[in-house]
Amino acid sequence: MKHPRDILLGSQAASMVLPVCDHYSGVEVRMRKSLQLQAEMTQELGACVFDVTLDCEDGAPVGGEIEHAHLVKEIAANAAPDARVAVRVHPVDHPSFFSDVSLIVGSVHNKLRHVMIPKVESVADVQAAEQALNQVGAMSLPLHVLIESPAAVHRAFDIAAHPRVQSLSFGLMDFVSAHGGAIPSSGMGVQGQFTHPLVLRAKMEIASACHAHGKVPSHCVVTEFSDLEAIKIAATKASRELAYTRMWSIHPSQIRPVVEALAPSAQEIEQAADLIDAARRAEWAPVSHGGQLHDRASYRFFWQVLERAYQTGRLLPESVQSYFGETPCAA
């Protein structure tokens, strides 16, 4: 019997499903603790709900880039076999870019899930990063890119179309700073980033570009890291209003609020499971369910609700549990 994912998603079924949270850390003790926390939460929830991205761009002290790259290489090399670990290198025009790629990616690309490239301005930057990774033997390692300027936002659709790119992230602070004071500092806050027209437009462009090309839109950090309610509100808005399916965290306390906000509710999960079960019994022909007519278009939507529930460690109804197997951390 064919799996619902193959029936409903077709060619999209082969696309990578990413954890809903991308956690950044550049300090040695926090990098090691982040990987430990990932393992603990995977065991607790039955799903790997966040990536750990080891940070070279902001994590390395000025003048200590080589030493930091060696540290990141060592941490990645000693990560558990099923850990989801990635690295953010310096921008492609930075003097340390090639040493980051050579030292880290060239040595441990088999342990990495992706490489984050910051300050991408155009497809040419993606091509430069791709070439560098290929030169060190990482021919199939996905690229994630950080969109941080008005020009990059303008080119987001072209960047997202590149086959090596798996996800686009929005760099809020650099984007606001790139406007020379024309956007007030409130545009970087948890409220202003959802109300200022230019910031909101940038977020929408990036999300639209990702969905147009089957890539993952990843929402920016919330700097008010101690305000957990603000983080949950921001994550909810990003997910429910702007169609982001992934979000950054920069402090361990932010991870659970992000996961909770991006997870479907218990009611949504139950509704999706009931409909998918009805569709299966009808052999995926149209059905009348709950007073509404449903066909494969709506089946696809509700199947994706169940996938998101599985990704975020939610309890799945018994009728659909058999569709989901091993912990998605190792996927």
Per-residue pLDDT, 226:
83
Question: Which ranges in the chain are annotated with CATH 3.20.20.60?
Answer: 18-262
**Kind of pairing between the strands at 287-289 and 292-294:** antiparallel
User: d(Cα 301, Cα 305) in Å, to the nearest integer?
Assistant: 7
Per-residue pLDDT, 137:
97
Inter-residue contact 261 to 236 (CB < 8 Å): yes
Per-residue pLDDT, 16:
61
Give start and end residues of each alpha helix (H) in the chain: 4-9, 28-45, 65-77, 97-100, 106-108, 123-135, 150-154, 156-161, 172-177, 197-212, 228-240, 255-262, 266-281, 296-311, 318-321
Per-residue pLDDT, 5:
87
Per-residue pLDDT, 15:
57
Per-residue pLDDT, 11:
56
Inter-residue contact 171 to 148 (CB < 8 Å): yes
DSSP SS3 for 34: helix
Beta bridge partners of 246: 218
DSSP SS3 for 282: coil
- Would you give the DSSP letter of residue 147? E
User: d(Cα 307, Cα 300) in Å, to the nearest integer?
Assistant: 11
**Helix (H), strand (E) at residue 166:** strand 165-170
Token code pair at residue 286: 């149209």
User: d(Cα 256, Cα 246) in Å, to the nearest integer?
Assistant: 13
User: d(Cα 306, Cα 165) in Å, to the nearest integer?
Assistant: 25
- Would you give the DSSP letter of residue 221? P
Per-residue pLDDT, 320:
94
Write the Ramachandran bin of 146: left for phi over 0, alpha for psi from -120 to 50, otherwise beta. Answer: beta
CB atoms within 10 A of CB 81: 6
Question: Long-range pairs for 180-188 at CB < 8 Å and ≥24 separation?
Answer: 188/223
Helix 28-45, helix 65-77: angle, nearest 10: 30
User: d(Cα 295, Cα 202) in Å, to the nearest integer?
Assistant: 34
The residues of the chain scoring below 70 in pLDDT are 1, 11-16, 326-331
Rounded to the nearest 5 percent, the helix, strand and coil shares of the chain are 50, 15, 35
HEC states along 281-293? HCCCCCEEECCEE
Look at the domain 18-262 and name its fold.
TIM Barrel (3.20.20)
DSSP SS3 for 248: strand
Inter-residue contact 312 to 259 (CB < 8 Å): yes
Per-residue pLDDT, 327:
46
CB atoms within 10 A of CB 325: 9
